[in-house]
């Protein structure tokens, strides 16, 4: 018989937790035998002491086993999923899921809602009149078989231990723990039952992981979990120092996604969508289709229409539009050299596009349009940003968030590539495309490194 106090002490003292101890504590916490204050202490011990790859894999497996797994064997085509660690203007799931479906794979995209400065996929799609996020498991399977793509809320029976622990981490200062982040992501994704998984792990001011080394450590941990659960996984490390695309906000991002699906849209959105699609198709064993050509052909837009209609949405209905728009103009001739993703994300949040608490409503029309991006030549008086909002009282807070978040200078400045690196598993090892990852103890808080 185990004791929660013994498990807490062991990790507090830097010891490895054996498999049976991990299995017990996750099961006992899910059943309410281990109290929230005890799991809070253990989470803090893990945050400070870390876990090795074996512990992380076992912790993940215990959270998967706390609930049910989706069985996708009846879908009739290879299944592959994608997960992003979140960012500003990150609407990639919207064009990506129908694109990969149009190429022949099935995409079971169980998504979440936004919190703080990062947007949520479900919030974006709920801008579309009639669209519904909650589907029962038979509906998910039927839509995957008929359409090839579904974006919906996770079912309550998948990894319930993670749902409890996720809420606890948010109020105990343990969100930054790489073992807890990695096991949270992978327990839900593996429970979904997809045959392969592609991860978009972001770094930069608008990302959860602010530095490239921290993002690489997280990506490596995620791919290692995939290896230990025999799931093919690739992780793209992508830059989130600048907002993705030009639209930040729910209805604004849906409109931009539709533009991409029709063969247009911002170059960075198209680049990342195609890169992720190519990786997903490779893992699904589909190597004779060029996703760039499928995207430009309009086939992905047709699949988008099917996907939205299957969930009750009207893809032809007008999207919500804000009652007020405030324009920020360039103060001088020069180049837009800085546009900070975090500043833009907070501004959109304060305008009503996001929420501070999970129960808060969102204003689907609110957000920020980036009319210029870093490197663009601008002239005095040229519109740089549009702030879309409903309530005048929200404007001052958004303007304050943007203060210092953009700059026009004489030089254009430089920026690194959008996709910095790719980490893949081969079934027996983790392979990093340009750097060497270690397989030592993982997961102390990034700030401690």
- Catalytic positions, please? 83, 162, 169, 184, 188
Which residues touch 382 (CB under 8 Å, ≥6 apart)? 329, 330, 371, 372
| Helices of type H across 175-266 | 178-192, 212-228, 250-261
Alpha carbon 412 to its chain's center: 30
Structure tokens at 339: 């546009």
CA 366, CA 364: separation in Å to the nearest integer?
A: 6
Phi-psi sector, 404: left (phi>0), alpha (psi -120 to 50), beta: left
Q: Residue 119's closest CA among 76, 84, 154?
A: 84
Dihedral class, residue 144 (left if φ above 0, else alpha if ψ from -120 to 50, else beta):
alpha
Q: What is the Cα–Cα distance from 346 to 362, expressed in whole angstroms?
A: 14
Within 13 Å, how many C-alpha atoms sit on residue 273's CB side? 34
């Amino acid at each position: 018989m185990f004791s929660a106090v013994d498990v807490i002490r062991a990790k507090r003292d830097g010891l490895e937790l054996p498999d049976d101890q991990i299995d017990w504590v996750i099961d006992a916490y899910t059943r309410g035998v281990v109290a929230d204050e005890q799991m809070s202490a253990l989470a803090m011990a893990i945050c400070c002491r870390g876990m090795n790859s074996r512990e992380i894999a076992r912790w993940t497996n215990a959270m998967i086993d706390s609930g049910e797994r989706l069985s996708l064997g009846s879908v009739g085509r290879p299944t592959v999923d994608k997960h992003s660690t979140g960012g500003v203007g990150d609407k990639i799931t919207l064009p990506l899921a129908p694109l990969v479906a149009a190429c022949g794979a099935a995409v079971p995209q169980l998504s979440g809602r936004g919190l703080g400065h990062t947007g949520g996929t479900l919030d974006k799609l709920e801008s579309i009149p009639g669209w519904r996020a909650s589907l029962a498991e038979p509906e998910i399977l039927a839509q995957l078989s008929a359409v090839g793509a579904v974006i919906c809320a996770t079912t309550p029976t998948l990894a319930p231990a993670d749902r409890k622990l996720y809420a606890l981490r948010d109020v105990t200062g343990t969100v930054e723990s790489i073992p807890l982040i990695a096991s949270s992501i992978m327990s839900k994704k593996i429970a979904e039952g997809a045959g392969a998984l592609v991860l978009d792990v972001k770094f930069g001011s608008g990302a959860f992981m602010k530095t490239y080394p921290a993002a690489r450590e997280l990506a490596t941990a995620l791919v290692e979990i995939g290896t230990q659960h025999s799931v093919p996984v690739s992780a793209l490390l992508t830059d989130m120092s600048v907002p993705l695309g030009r639209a930040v906000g729910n209805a604004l991002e849906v409109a931009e996604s539709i533009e991409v699906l029709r063969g247009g849209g911002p170059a960075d959105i198209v680049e990342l969508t195609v890169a992720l699609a190519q990786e997903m198709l490779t893992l699904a064993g589909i190597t004779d289709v060029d996703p760039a050509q499928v995207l430009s052909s309009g086939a992905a837009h047709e699949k988008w229409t099917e996907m939205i209609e299957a969930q009750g949405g009207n893809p032809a209905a007008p999207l919500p539009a804000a009652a007020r728009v405030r324009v920020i103009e360039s103060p001088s001739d020069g180049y837009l050299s800085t546009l900070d993703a975090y500043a833009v994300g907070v501004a959109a949040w304060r305008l009503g596009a996001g929420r501070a608490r999970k129960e808060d409503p969102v204003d689907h029309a609110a957000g920020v349009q980036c009319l210029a991006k870093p490197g663009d030549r601008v002239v005095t008086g040229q519109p740089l940003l549009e702030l879309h909002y409903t309530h005048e009282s929200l404007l001052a807070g958004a303007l304050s968030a943007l203060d210092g978040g953009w700059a026009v200078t004489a030089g254009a400045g430089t920026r690194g590539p959008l996709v910095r690196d790719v980490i893949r598993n081969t079934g027996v090892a983790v392979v990093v495309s340009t750097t060497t990852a270690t397989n030592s103890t993982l997961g102390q808080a990034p700030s401690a490194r």
